[in-house]
Amino acid sequence: MTKADIVNEISKNTGIEKVTVQKTIEAFMETVKDSLVKDKNVYLRGFGSFIVKKRAKKTARNISKNTTIIIPEHFIPAFKPSKTFVGKVKNNVKH
């Protein structure tokens, strides 16, 4: 599902104009990004959390050049779904 699909679905279900829904979704995503950049996690009860994870310094191999490189400690954004969210997906997804 793309952002456009989400905008269409929300607009259809709520009766709110697509332009308004798109602006709201864009503002939400910007707010989440800005919060994570400031090292502030975002918690959405019943949905999940957008968090910043710390990756430790590690040694890696460049196989083509047969050399060792050091990857410094760094931070990455991550999403951790709530238990209820995980439970719904676990019980309803069919392969």
CATH for 22: 4.10.520.10
Backbone angles phi, psi at 36, to 5 degrees: -65, -35
Question: Cα-flanking dihedrals φ and ψ of residue 77, to 5°?
Answer: -80, 150
Q: Structural domain of residue 33, as residue ranges?
A: 3-92
Model confidence over 30-64: pLDDT tens digits? Answer: 999 999 999 999 999 999 999 999 999 999 998 89
Please tell me the total count of domains within the chain: 1
Quick: pLDDT tens for 72-83: 999 999 999 999
pLDDT above 80: residue 87 = yes
CA distance 63 to 77: 27
